Structure 1
Amino acid sequence: MAPTHLRHAMLACGVSLGVLAASPAHADSTADAASASASDADAGRTIVVNGEKGETVASGATGLALSLMDTPQSVSVVDRTFLDDFALDETNQLLRYVTGVNVDQVETERTYYNARGFDIVDAMIDGISLPNIWGPTIGAQDSVMWDNVEVVRGANALLTGAGNPSGTINYHRRHPTGQRHMSAELSYGSWNKKRAEVDLDLPLTADGKWAVRVTGAAQDGDSYLRSYHHNRTAISGVLDGEITPSLHLSAGYIRQDSNSTGVMWGALPLQDSKGNQLSFPISTSTTMDWTYWKIHDETAYGQLTWDFAPGWSVRAHVTRKYHNEDSRLFYVYGTPKQDSQTGAWGGLFGNPGAYAPVAKGWIYDGTVQGSYRLFGRDQQLTLGVQRTVGTYEYYGRAVPDSDPAWGQIPGLPDSWTGQEVALPAYGASVQQEHTEDRQWRLRGASDVSLTEKLSVLLGASYLVEKTRGISFGASTDKNEKALSPFVGVTYKALPGVNLYASYSSIFAPQANLDIDRRPLGAAKGKSYEAGLKAQTPGGGLFGSVAWFRAEQSNLADAGAYDTATGQTLYNGIRAVSRGVEAEVGGKLTSTLTIQAGATTLKMDDGAGRQVRTYVPRNTANLALRWNPIAPLQLGAAVKWQDTIYSGTVRQGDYATLQLQAGYKLNENVQFNFNVANVTNHKYLTSLYWTQAYYAAPRNVTGSVRVTF
C-alpha cells in the first residue's frame, strides 16, 4: 500500500469523534434512548455485558428505551470498571475485547476497526449520530472521557442512516452524577510510559440538579519501536442542569492534543524479490528521526430537552467540531532485493511527505419521542431530523524530485538508525483539496407490542448527501439519496428467553475515487440477523447467539496507485459475509465475573472467491475477574484469532494474554497492576495493507488511584 492523501481518513479522525488521532496524509489513509436527563440516569444505573449484568438500555441500537433483551440486534458494552481494571487507556485497546470486533493498526498513528468482515464507519456520542461522510473511527483516542462504550453489531439504519453491516460504536460521556466525587490516578509502565488521570464530579447546587463533571489525562512515553515517542493530553467537561422540572440542559467540551515523533507512514516491507516472507526484530521501524505527527481535535456541544407532555419529550442538539494536523512523514516503498554477489540488500526507496489538513463542521439534531396507545398497549415512538455541514481543506508541502529523500535506501529497515535520509527541502504549503459536505437525514422508529410476547420494531431513515469540491484536480462532486428501512421482531419464547430477527437495507456513502478518479459512490446492499437472547432471573448472567448475513455491492477495494498525486484509487466490489456470533457475560458466582464471545464467518464475492482476507474468519475473547477476598481482585483477558493473509503474506493464528491484579488498601487508595502479552508472542498488527509492523512485546503497567 502506497501513501495516499484520502480525505475520509482525515475527516474520520477530525470531525467524527472529536478526539481522534488519525492520519492527515493518506486517502485511505441524543437520538438517545430517553431524554437527556433520563439518559444520564441510565448511564449511572446501566451495568453492561462486560461487567455485572443489570438492566441495560441499548440506546445506540434503536433510539428507543429498549433493554438488551428486547433489542433485535447484537449489542456489547464495555463499562468504566472494565477499562480501569485492565488499564485500557485508549479506544484501540478496549475494542480488542469486544466480541466480533477486530482492530487493524496499520501505522503508528492510524487504525481501522471491522466487524462481520466490514469496516466500522459509523459512530455516535451519547446516541447522537456522527455522519459517515466524515469517515470511520481512526487512531488512538483516549478513553478517559467515556463512561462506557457500546458496540451495536450489524446494520443500524435507524440512527446512523447508512445501515452499514459491520456495526456502530456509541461512546457515552462521563456525565455528572449529582454527588461529589474526586479521584486521581498515577501510572507508570514499560518504555518509560507515564500517565496521570483526574476525575472531578461536583454538584453545583445543594440538591444536585446542577452539576459538572471534568475528566482529563496526560500521557507521555517512549516505545518498543525504534525512535518512536508519543505524548497526548485529553480533557472533557460536561455540565448538566435542570432549568425547570421539565426543561433540562446538557453542554460539554472535549479536546485532545497528541504529538508523536519517529512515526511510521506505511510500515515494513513483508516480502523480498523472490517472494519470501521477511521477518524483522519487533522494534524495526521505517521512520526517520525528523518525522513527526501533531494532531489537535476539539468538540463542543449543547443540548436542551423539554418534557412537554406526559410521556413525551423533544430534544434539540448542536455539535461543533474542529480538527487540524501538522505532519512531516517518510514513506518507504519497493521490494527488498539481495545482491547475489555481495549479499547486500537494496530495492527500497523513499517518499517524503508533509501535510496539514483542517476539518470543521456542525451537527444539528432534533428528536421527538414518547409513547402512545395501540392494541390496548403502550407503544414507543421516536422521530428525528439531522443536518450536517462539514468543510475539509487539505494542504501539502512538496519535495523536489531531485532531493535525495526520493532516492534508494541501502539495506533493510532492521539495520537503519533513522539517519539514513537527511531532512528534505520541503516547499511552501499548497492547498490540494477543498471539499464541502452537506447532509440531511430524517428518521423514525416505533416499537409496537402486538401481544404480551410479540413485538415488532419498524423504522426507516432517509438520507440526502451533497458533496462539492476538488481533490488533486479531480472533482469530488456527488449527489446521493436513499431510504433505508429497518424491521425487527422480538418474541418472548420463555421467561428470560427471547427470539429475534431483523432486516436493514444498506446505503453507505464512500469518499473514495475510482480508477478514473471519479467519486466511487455509495455501497449498497442488505443485512439480516436472527438470534436468541437469554438471561438468568435477576439478570445476573446474560447470553446471546446470533446468525447474520450481509451483502454489499460497490464496496471500495484498493485497485491502483496514482504516483502523480499520491492517491490510492478504488474498484467497487461485491462482498457477502455470513456467520455466527455467541456471547455470554455477567456473574458466574458472587465473586467471579465473565465476559466471553466468539465469532465465525465466511466472506467472498458471492461466487466463491475470497475477499478481504486480512479479516480473521474466526475470533474469540475471554475476560475473567475474580475477587477471592474483599480487597483483592485478579483478572485475565484473552483474545484469539485465526490465520489471515494478504496475497502470499500470512500471519498465523495467535492468542494474547493479559493478567491483572488489583488491591484496595482502603476506601480511598487502590493499587492496580497489569501485564500485557504475557507470553511475549510476536505477531503483526494487521494485514490490512501489504505492509505491516509488529505488536508490542510483553509489557507492564502499575498504578495507584486515590479517591477523595
Structure 2
Amino acid sequence: MLNPWPHTLCLAVALATMASPALAQDLSFNLPAGNLASTLNTIASQSGQIVSLEPALVQGKQAPAVIGHMSPEQAMEAALRGSGLQLRITGQGNFSVEPAPQTGEALQLGVTSITERSSDATTEGSGSYTAQAVTIGKGSHSLKETPQSVTVITRKMLDDQNLNTIEQVMEKTPGITVYDSPMGGKYFYSRGFRMTGQYQYDGVPLDIGSSYVQADSFNSDMAIYDRVEVLRGAAGMMKGAGGTAGAVNFIRKRGESTPHTQLSLSAGTWDNYRGQVDTGGPLNDSGTLRGRAVLTQQTRQYFYDIGARKDQIYYGALDFDLSPDTTLGVGLAYEDVDATPCWGGLPRYADGSDLKLKRSTCLNTAWNNQRSKRTTWFGDLKQQLNDDWSLKVAGVYSKNTQDMEYAFPSGSVPVGATSTKTLMLGSIYDYDQTDYGFDAYLNGKFDALGLEQELTIGANASRSHKDDFYAVAVLPQRQNVLNPDHHLPKPDDSYYLSNASRG
C-alpha cells in the first residue's frame, strides 16, 4: 500500500490464511506509462509492500512502462527511472522514496542499522520460519549452541498456518505425539513421556496442565505470544528440577521501538469467525516507555450438533527503561472460554459393530457448559551489568477457574435395536487453581584456559494451589441414541450432592 506520510501507524487487514509476499519474490507486472504516483501505488498494492513518501516528490511526474517478471524492488526502481528520485529499503523491509543526489553532489547514504542477529530471539517481523536464538535455557543462545533438541514455532508460522491454540502448536511440533481425551482436550507426549507441568512463560516455570479435566489443553491462545519454544528430552539442565519429557516456553509479545497497529479478520466453515487487534510502540518521545496491547475474539460452531465455543483474550504489557542498562516490564493477560462441548464419544452395538450414525451426531445435552477464566500477572527486571554480564529477575501469578456441567450416554446398544434407553451420566466440575512462579539468574562470559567460557547462576521456583470439586451421577432420564433428545431436563446441584460420587 502507498503511505504518503512517513513514520505513521500502518493498518493491515488480511485473512488469516493469507501471507504477505516476500521482498525478493518475483511478480508479473504489466503497467503502461503514466502518472508516477499511480504506478507506485499499483506496485505497492500488487506486491503487498508499504511505500512511504512525501506527496510533493511525485506530484506532476510521469513513470515509464513497467512490464515483465521482476521483484517488487526492481519494479519500483524501473518506475522511478529518470524521475530524480531513488528507492531506499528500511530496516523493517518497507520501501521509502527519497530525492536522488544530484550529479557532483556527495552521495547521501540512508540510515544503516547494525544489529547482532544471533542474540535477538524475537521472531515477530522477521518473516522467517526459523529463529536466530532461543531462550528456553537462561540467556539467549543460537540453536547451534544449544546442546538439546529444540523446535521454535515462530510468529510467522503461527500466523501463516492459523495456529491459535496450544493443541495446534503441539500437533505441528516434530517429535511431539498428541492424543485425544474423551473429555475434551489433548494429551501431549515427548519421547514416550507425558508432558505434565513442563511449561514456562518467558522462562518462568508454572505447574499448569497437570490436573485439568481437559487433559493437558489448558486455555492458552497464541495471539499474545511472539513464539513457542519446545524442548524434547530431559529438561533438568534448562528448567529447574526439569523432567524426562521436555519443556515448553511461551514468549510473550512486548512493546517495540517502532509503532504498529494490525487488524486481522478471518472466517471459516461452521461459523468460525475470528478478529484481532494488535497495537504497540513507544509511548513517549524518548522511546523509554513502550507498550503492547492485543484484543482477540473468536466464535465458532462445529460439524456436530450443539457444539459451540467463544474465546476472548485481552493482553497488555509495558516496558520502561529505568536507565540505558535497566528495563522494568509488567503485564496482564485475561483469557475467557465459554463453550458448549460435546464429549464422551459415540457408543457401539453390543457386538462392537458400528451404529452407522450421522457424522453430525452428538448425544450430549444442550445444557452442556464449559467456562474457563484465567488471569495472569507478570513482571520482570533486566539489568545489563556490562558488555558480558546480565541479570534477570521475573515472576508470574496465574489464577484459573473452570466450571463445567455436562451429560453423556454410557453403555452399548443391543444388536438390532430400533430405539434405546441408554444410561446418561451427568457431571459437574468446579476447579480453582492458583499458580506462582519465580525465576532469577545471572549470566555472563569470561576468558579462561584460552577459551571463552559462559557461566549461569540462578534459581527458580513454582507453587500451585488447587481447590477442586467434582460430582458424577446417573441421571433419572435415559437417552435414545438412535434418535437423541438434546433437551433432557437439567438437574440442580442438590441432585448431584445426594446421588453422586464426588471428590
Superposition TM-score, scaled by structure 1 size: 0.50
Structure 1 residue 267, shift from structure 2 partner? 2.3
> Which of 251, 263, 273 in structure 2 is aligned with 1:172?
251
> Which of 332, 346, 349 in structure 2 is aligned with 1:268?
346
Q: What does 1:287-306 correspond to in 2, within 5 Å? A: 287-306=364-383
Aligned to 1:233: 312
**CA separation of 1:350 and 1:356: change in aligned 2, threshold 3 A:** same
Structure 1 residue 133, shift from structure 2 partner? 8.4
**CA separation of 1:189 and 1:106: change in aligned 2, threshold 3 A:** same
Quick one: distance in 2 between partners of 1:255 and 1:333? 36
Aligned to 2:207: 131
Where 1:427 maps in the other structure, the secondary structure is helix
Gaps of 5+ in 1: 1-37, 431-562, 568-708
Aligned to 1:424: 491
Aligned to 1:319: 396
Quick one: distance in 2 between partners of 1:231 and 1:92? 17
> Which of 373, 383, 386 in structure 1 is aligned with 2:447?
373
Quick one: distance in 2 between partners of 1:45 and 1:51? 7
Where 1:165 maps in the other structure, the secondary structure is coil
Aligned to 1:411: 481
Q: What does 1:212-361 correspond to in 2, within 5 Å? A: 212-261=291-340, 263-269=341-347, 271-276=348-353, 280-339=357-416, 343-344=417-418, 346=420, 348-361=422-435
Higher relative contact order (CA 8 A, sep 6+): 1
Aligned to 2:167: 92
Where 2:392 maps in the other structure, the secondary structure is strand
**CA separation of 1:52 and 1:363: change in aligned 2, threshold 3 A:** closer
Quick one: distance in 2 between partners of 1:173 and 1:191? 30
Quick one: distance in 2 between partners of 1:163 and 1:169? 11
CA contact 1:178–1:210 (8 Å) conserved in 2: no
CA contact 2:204–2:437 (8 Å) conserved in 1: no
Aligned to 1:42: 120
Aligned to 2:275: 196
Quick one: distance in 2 between partners of 1:377 and 1:362? 39
Same amino acid, percent of matched pairs: 23
Deviations 1:353-379 (A, max 9, x none): 112111113222221221233212221
Aligned to 2:12: none
**CA separation of 1:429 and 1:348: change in aligned 2, threshold 3 A:** closer
Q: In structure 2, what residue type is equivalent to 1:416?
A: P
Quick one: distance in 1 between partners of 2:449 and 2:297? 55
Structure 1 residue 144, shift from structure 2 partner? 0.6
**CA separation of 1:296 and 1:232: change in aligned 2, threshold 3 A:** same
Where 2:413 maps in the other structure, the secondary structure is strand
Where 1:69 maps in the other structure, the secondary structure is helix
Where 1:191 maps in the other structure, the secondary structure is coil
Structure 1 residue 160, shift from structure 2 partner? 3.0
What is the number of residues matched between the two proteins? Answer: 383
Quick one: distance in 2 between partners of 1:428 and 1:158? 50
Deviations 1:35-56 (A, max 9, x none): xxx99972436899x93546x2
Structure 1 residue 139, shift from structure 2 partner? 4.2
**CA separation of 1:326 and 1:383: change in aligned 2, threshold 3 A:** same
Structure 1 residue 278, shift from structure 2 partner? 5.4
Aligned to 1:386: 460
Quick one: distance in 1 between partners of 2:446 and 2:117? 20
**CA separation of 1:206 and 1:279: change in aligned 2, threshold 3 A:** farther
Deviations 1:492-546 (A, max 9, x none): xxxxxxxxxxxxxxxxxxxxxxxxxxxxxxxxxxxxxxxxxxxxxxxxxxxxxxx
Deviations 1:216-265 (A, max 9, x none): 2101122112111110101221211210122211111111001012x124
Q: In structure 2, what residue type is equivalent to 1:358?
A: D
Superposition TM-score, scaled by structure 2 size: 0.69
**CA separation of 1:132 and 1:423: change in aligned 2, threshold 3 A:** closer
Considering fraction of residues, name the structure with more strand: 1
Q: In structure 2, what residue type is equivalent to 1:221?
A: R
CA RMSD of aligned residues (A): 3.0
CA contact 1:398–1:428 (8 Å) conserved in 2: no
